Structure 1
Amino acid sequence: MATNMKAWRLEGIGGKLSLCDVAVPEVRAGSVLVRVEASSLMSYLKAYAEGKLPSYHAPEMPFTPGGNGIGVVHAVGRDVWHLKVGQRVALSSHFAATENVRDPAQILIGVTSFGPESEAVQADWPDGTLAEYALMPVSAVTPVEGLNEFESAQLAVLSRCAVPFGGLLRGRLTAGETVIVNGATGAYGSAAVLVAIAMGAARVVAAGRNADALEAVGRAAGTRVVTVRLEGDVQADAESLRAAAGGGAQLAFDMVGQAGEPSSTLSALSALRRGGRLVVMGSMTVPLPVSYMQLMFHNLEIIGNFMYPADAYRRLIELVRGGLLDINPIVPRIFPFSALPEAMEAAAKAGNLECVVLQP
């Protein structure tokens, strides 16, 4: 085995990003060393690397950034019993401490920590997937079985589906229900439409303001999808959503990114049936002014959710293998490993059904 590898290294958020020769990580207890075959890029990776996202907390020392990916197990450490060398696996950036405590710390490996307790976790697992090899905690690695017909670059788009899958699970989406996806013109919102169909939604109302992106996701997802172009008037948009949902939806999933005003979220809330649930999973930058009386009289729930459970990738893979989740509408744009700067530019501008992938 080679002792050195190529890896992208970032000297702290806003620091220098360089392609370097570094030592291949050594496996340790509870870890898996993976030869990375494809790494999906976050749309905001360029802004993150340039220090324009102050809410993110990266490791203080130089580290390898990167989120989720696909690879092949190269070596396993002690206390790893099921994963085997040679298996193709999916890599998740979301990792929560596995100790049996009330509130385990969590991080996004290669991206950010969330406070003092998670900084200690991040210090143990600082490096992400933008390298030829990635050392990962075993609970962040999922076998990819029965999908030999897919190239690793196509499977890398599962990272786009994992986030909304977590929110739809949290919202208790049940087969036969109608769900409104607010922000369906964005990357994760478009994936949410595909995932909701796979989970058995009878109807998905895809809502957003970009007519072309709405048309694209409606065409990709099939006949159970109805699109609604939002105009910004809370009451009028709520009426349009309610009509498209056949009198109201049981679930609304909000995935609007960096929303500077709450009108579309409030419209989705008002389009729910009695007893409906709203899952908020986007990144609104202003408060959400909800009506106390509206929530009470209509028995509504507002549910916050961050990321997805540890078994999300396994369950998504089962949906793909069973023919329920079609990931082909999300097209990977593949860049060579040396072209990370160009790939980050492309990721920032990618369409809602594009996923930029870096391949070593």
Structure 2
Amino acid sequence: MKAWRLETGAPLRLLSVPDLTPRPGSVTIRVEACSVVSYLRQYVEGKLPGYNPPDGTFTPGTNGIGTIAEIGTQVYDLSPGQRVLTTGSVTAAENVPEPAVALLSMTADPANAALLNDWPEGTLAEVAMAPVSVVTPIPAELDDVPSERLAVITRCLVPYGGLRRGRLEPGETVVVNGATGDFGQAAVYVALAMGASKVVAAGRNRTVLDRLGELDRVVMVRLTGDVDADANALRDAAGGGADLGFDMIGGATDTAATQSTLAALRRGGRLVLMGSARAPLPVDYTQLMMTNREIIGHFMYPADAPAQLLKLAAGGLLDLEGIQVAAFPLDQLDGAMDKAAESGGPLVVVQPN
């Protein structure tokens, strides 16, 4: 089979490698569409501080849509021929206070390196192997949806995890800070699917904001960087204050927009932080206490997130057509990585021939 192979300090190469045989508790999957993360080029060039790749040579790629080719032993409900979604966030199945976690074929905390090294083969290949805990059958209602379009689910996983951690309830109002970025745009669609009565899309990219502003129940606010002015604009757009703030700013060198989002919350509102700001977030201790607001840090998504999002899509609640998709052949990964790095661009997928 063909697979992209990577070794620390060496270039990424498309090679012919032996077919994979499923291990106990795993399946092999014929990949039909593999999502390309925006930071993949930085990752393969070793330019992401804090990312710890698997040892040796491996195939990157965390998420994908495909069909089960073979099942290993200790697999009881999945079967060959099933169309599935495979995802990258895995938690070890051990009944301990803090089980190991990893982003398969990508990175893990050094303390969890053993888990990462057990599963180094990702989805940038014709065939992938994955533990059954990250493999989710696709409902029959979505049989006619092309795999590249179904891959939109993979972009929705992270914001779904944050919105759920923030206890979003139907009828509540949400401010999405960083709504013009990849995950921010997805957060708008996920919040609508989860029943938000209003989503305030906040960002600076006018083109993306205008597109989001055309959606029902979405209002847009173009941020200026003035904390107080932006907070007032967000509160007004939310109808007097938001129930939930979802912060997905990427690589920001200041936290002005996050401060504005926090200040736009109503009494008892919650703010979920899932972005990658590079500056401290100043917090007024007394104000936070007096307003009963919460600040919640969150990473990734729960194990049942893929199944829940697929249900929302199958029920017509999650719009899979709203996010643009750009597809590349497997052997054109270089161009796919460039396209994926475009801020506010489409979801990029690569597809084996």
- Measured against the shorter chain, the TM-score band is over 0.9
Within 2, Cα distance between the matches of 1:190 and 1:234?
22
Within 1, Cα distance between the matches of 2:252 and 2:179?
13
CA contact under 8 A between 1:196 and 1:204: conserved in structure 2? yes
Q: Deviations over 1:20-46 (max 9, x none)?
A: 111122111110111111001001101
- Residue 359 (structure 1) aligned with residue 351 (structure 2): yes
Structure 1 counterpart of 2:302, one-letter code: P
How far is 1:213 from its partner?
Answer: 1.2
How far is 1:350 from its partner?
Answer: 5.6
Q: Write the mapping of 1:38-117 to structure 2, written as runs, cut at 5 A.
A: 38-116=33-111
The unaligned stretches of length 5 or more in structure 1 are: none
Structure 2 counterpart of 1:35, one-letter code: R
Aligned to 1:293: 286
Q: Deviations over 1:222-269 (max 9, x none)?
A: 220000000001011000000000000010000001111000000000
Structure 2 counterpart of 1:210, one-letter code: N
Secondary structure at the aligned position of 1:23 is classed as coil
1:206 to 181, 201, 208: 201
Within 2, Cα distance between the matches of 1:15 and 1:205?
44
Aligned to 1:154: 149
Question: Size of the alignment, in residue pairs?
Answer: 351
Secondary structure at the aligned position of 1:53 is classed as coil
- Residue 332 (structure 1) aligned with residue 325 (structure 2): yes
Within 2, Cα distance between the matches of 1:30 and 1:82?
11
- Residue 6 (structure 1) aligned with residue 2 (structure 2): yes
- Residue 234 (structure 1) aligned with residue 227 (structure 2): yes
- Residue 273 (structure 1) aligned with residue 269 (structure 2): no
Within 1, Cα distance between the matches of 2:343 and 2:165?
28
TM-score, normalised on structure 1?
0.96
How far is 1:351 from its partner?
Answer: 3.4
Structure 2 counterpart of 1:132, one-letter code: E
The unaligned stretches of length 5 or more in structure 2 are: none
Within 2, Cα distance between the matches of 1:115 and 1:247?
45
Aligned to 1:216: 211
- Residue 246 (structure 1) aligned with residue 239 (structure 2): yes
Q: Deviations over 1:91-125 (max 9, x none)?
A: 10111101111111111112111122x10001100
CA contact under 8 A between 1:350 and 1:356: conserved in structure 2? no
How far is 1:330 from its partner?
Answer: 1.1
Within 2, Cα distance between the matches of 1:202 and 1:332?
27
- Residue 131 (structure 1) aligned with residue 130 (structure 2): no
Secondary structure at the aligned position of 1:10 is classed as strand
Aligned to 1:304: 297
Within 1, Cα distance between the matches of 2:206 and 2:10?
38
Structure 2 counterpart of 1:69, one-letter code: G
How far is 1:216 from its partner?
Answer: 1.5
2:115 to 118, 121, 130: 121
CA contact under 8 A between 2:181 and 2:343: conserved in structure 1? no
Detail structure 1 runs of 4+ shifted over 3 Å in the superposition: none
How far is 1:60 from its partner?
Answer: 2.3
Within 1, Cα distance between the matches of 2:227 and 2:193?
29
